A and B are shown apart, each in its own frame.
Chain A
């Protein structure tokens, strides 16, 4: 497994765990987003940096090498795919807002779309790194 794939796995799993916990707090338990957002952002940053440092220590050579042409293509395709996930969520959120006029619901849907879009990005990277590009 390449460094890029390991990195995508770590970032995807981090977002699933921390993003899932955030959504459980905010949507499930009714904690105000203003209270849950700071731990979510800080948690994501700290865990991501720690995981990247560990990966870099394990594979220092690969970690320091620049993204090559195939990896760049994979990242572009994965970002293109994830943009549809984000756009779909935003359109659904705006539609819901037009119907219900509920700004908090719009916030939740857009933030959930952002998290799902990033998870889709990493998932697509893993898939493309293993398949024919």
Chain B
């Protein structure tokens, strides 16, 4: 799946998907769930938190 297609599926721009991939932006919870839903996986399969 392309970055543009994923962005369109979850309602953000391709550049925002790129920023999420490069850890330059932490998406909202809603967008996080939308991304996980597109791939039909759980939220923690897509995102993780390394702590402070």
Chain A residues in the interface with B (C-beta under 8 A) = 2, 4, 62, 65, 68-71, 129, 131-133
Shortest CB-to-CB span from B21 to chain A, Å, is 12
The answer to whether the Cβ of B19 comes within 8 Å of any Cβ in the partner chain is: yes
A2 contact set on B, CB distance < 8 A? 13-15
A68 and B11 form a contact (CB under 8 A): yes
* Contact among B12, B23, B24 with A68 in the assembled complex (CB-CB below 8 Å): B12
A2 to B12, CA, bound (A): 12
Q: Is the interface of B mostly helix, strand, loop or mixed?
A: loop
Please report the total number of B residues contacting A with Cβ < 8 Å.
13
A70 to B25, CA, bound (A): 8
Nearest CB in chain A to that of B18: its residue: A2
B16 contact set on A, CB distance < 8 A? 68-71
Between A62, A68, A70, A133, the greatest number of chain B beta carbons within 10 A of the residue's beta carbon is seen for: A70
Known contacts A68-B16, A70-B19; A132/B25 CB under 8 A: yes
Nearest CB in chain A to that of B10: its residue: A68
Nearest CB in chain B to that of A70: its residue: B16
| 27 A-B pairs in the complex with CB atoms less than 8 angstroms apart | A2-B13, A2-B14, A2-B15, A4-B15, A62-B13, A65-B13, A68-B11, A68-B12, A68-B16, A69-B12, A69-B27, A69-B28, A70-B12, A70-B13, A70-B15, A70-B16, A70-B19, A70-B25, A70-B27, A71-B13, A71-B16, A129-B15, A131-B24, A132-B23, A132-B25, A133-B19, A133-B24
